[in-house]
Structure 1
């Protein structure tokens, strides 16, 4: 993470975390709230590195180059646990509690956990974490990454210091991607709210273009059953390697991007409104446990119904 860019794009967050680090007044739990483009996960890594770095800068942040910083960037410390799942469950919190029931191994005795996407956690996971937060251990620090803090228990919110991120600049993300991909890819990923690092990760995967072309072909053939057949057989077959929430979400975002273009989406105004509503609703459905094959079949059927009107 480029600290100068962080300071420029998130000045309030930068000052708040800098003050905590310089004064050694670290809260037991933080809630980093903001969209993917805000780079909350990248900031969490920098903050974790800063808690252990022996050579912090004048603002208290990690140098990012020493052996300690490199070890935490590589996720090689047993005293920092990252939980990154589609949906965090009670068993994941209990496993975390069990792991941190022993003393820390690193110098300084600090232990840190990062819960990515905690606003999508199950109710049981939230209740389990609440008990964890009510009795924080010495030198134990938590960072909850959420897009919508309103989807977490108010009792959890009250036990965390809320750090609200403002949306990242789409222009910055787009410019950072143009050196490695097409303008269309860069524009879509930036407008969809992906951070620069997340966007680069997507682009590195072979399935990215499969999903991209799948969205384009679906809209080009939206008035024909060919569109559905191609999706079911080639792009998202049942139990196929690409039939995951992440790839389905990306496909939906490509559809929303293309639906504004008359040359790609041959739809009238009312049809565009109807299809857009279906896609946005499905994005919300993906935040909950769902049978993806059934979910996709419902999308195909509902879209077909709209375009036949």
Structure 2
């Protein structure tokens, strides 16, 4: 006999077998038992949560020849068997994705008046109903509003928001929920017991997590894993199928990130993960999950995790240092999220992940700041001196040249590009606001930030953005620097200098190319 997919073998046959949809199932069962039926039902919810299965169970219960007093179908009569085999003449299933035009709806209107052949009701199950065209919906409206007494419509969709309001108002709506990991694990254990194969607990957990609330997806993945494992379900096989990173490698990566003198080990581990066939998005995803679990483990307690998960997290917690504050763990999650965003935007995957890992080490106090920041920290604020022709330096040695003051400024030097770059490394959203503004070094103690729109200025004044700006300005300019947030209109009224933010771009380029030892003199027209 040919193999049948597990999700078809273990499709629920009656209301009692439906898992994770208790409220929906109880309501429908009572409606059947009390004969309080409506002419149109709408089953909405994520994929793989049982919408079509419940629609078929409903069809069996309504046309069952010997229904139970509870409202459940008997499953033994010819009507129930015909529905299960897809051969019941009065239960018509329509795939709206492939039958989405007005002609198909007109065909329904022509046949809807015919009396049932085998049962009490003629039931139309329209799957993925949101795929119907506007014309098809319009043709269906009158039929949905006043169908014959022997006709019941059951519409199923994953995107109820795409249905016209006129259709929604004519249906009794039921929301199917995404199944929890625990419910999916319970069902997978039942299947494992009935099929008679050995399953590792963490393998079942991994399948349940990656099913994303869809029991059908979980059973399909279980089917694949059993085919590869030849009747044995192991975490290694499941990890290969879903592309997750091996826990031992993930532990090495996390310990390398959190301990000093292990940067080389971090890079070697990352290279090993890549050569094992895992993509970099899997690294970001799995690392974020591990950090999330560590945060909950340390902050909320151990009882939130299954027993076998507790053993693993205890090992991880013991291997990680305790000096990392909760805020640093949270910031690490933000860094990983930013890296994933860059990766989605086409940024080189390897570079994106490596930068994220280096930033996490820096956040945890295990890295060294970039050389450009070290130079800024070591630089003393320059003193004001009268402008005079520059003399040739007598001894260049290793003494850094005096910074070139900004024209019209107070001798602070052109540190605006460094300010913008530092903020970009810290938070991209704050950098986007500043990058669209004019940053002007008015003098040694005043910095003007002029925005084109008042809304941008208001966003910069929020607590998070303002705190970052305070921190970076003090780091680069020193505690004596004050900054002023304004808009272009206000700046024009108060007479703020319009173009004193940076030195001329050509002069900057020439100075960088020639080096600090070659004097440059600007000649006016």
Q: TM-score range by the shorter chain?
A: 0.5 to 0.7
Which segment is superposed worse, 38-47 or 125-134? Answer: 125-134
In the alignment, what sits opposite 1:292?
none
TM-score, L = length of structure 1: 0.64
In the alignment, what sits opposite 2:152?
141
How many residue pairs align between the two structures? 248
Shift of 1:162: 1.1
**Aligned residue among 208, 214, 222 for 1:194:** 214
Aligned CA-pair RMSD: 4.2
Change (3 A) 1:19 1:42: same
Shift of 1:183: 3.6
CA distance in 2, matches of 1:174, 1:5: 15
Unaligned runs of 5+ in 1: 218-226, 231-253, 279-301
Change (3 A) 1:306 1:256: closer
Q: For residues 251-302 of structure 1, give each alpha carbon's deviation from its aligned partner in whole angstroms, at most 9, with x where no partner exists.
A: xxx9987751249xxxx72231344xx5xxxxxxxxxxxxxxxxxxxxxxx5
CA contact (8 A) 1:215 1:255 kept: no
CA contact (8 A) 1:37 1:170 kept: no
Answering whether residue 131 of structure 2 is matched by residue 106 of structure 1, we say no
CA distance in 1, matches of 2:282, 2:147: 44
1:13 is paired with a residue whose SS is: helix
In the alignment, what sits opposite 1:299?
none
CA distance in 1, matches of 2:280, 2:136: 33
CA distance in 2, matches of 1:65, 1:188: 36
Change (3 A) 1:78 1:172: same
TM-score, L = length of structure 2: 0.40
Which segment is superposed worse, 80-89 or 180-189? Answer: 180-189
**Aligned residue among 89, 92, 100 for 1:89:** 100
Shift of 1:48: 0.6
CA contact (8 A) 1:50 1:56 kept: yes
1:36 is paired with a residue whose SS is: coil
Of the two, which has the highest radius of gyration?
2
CA distance in 1, matches of 2:129, 2:281: 26
**Counterparts in 2 of 1:1-309, with a 5 A limit?**
1=12, 3-6=15-18, 9-86=20-97, 89-90=100-101, 91-108=103-120, 110-177=121-188, 179=192, 182-183=203-204, 186-190=207-211, 192-195=212-215, 197=216, 199-201=218-220, 204=223, 216=243, 259-262=284-287, 269=336, 270-275=338-343, 278=344, 303=346
Shift of 1:3: 3.5
CA distance in 2, matches of 1:257, 1:98: 53
CA distance in 1, matches of 2:281, 2:148: 45
CA contact (8 A) 1:87 1:117 kept: no
CA distance in 1, matches of 2:168, 2:122: 21
Change (3 A) 1:194 1:70: same
CA contact (8 A) 1:37 1:168 kept: no
CA distance in 2, matches of 1:61, 1:168: 23
In the alignment, what sits opposite 1:238?
none
CA distance in 2, matches of 1:200, 1:97: 38
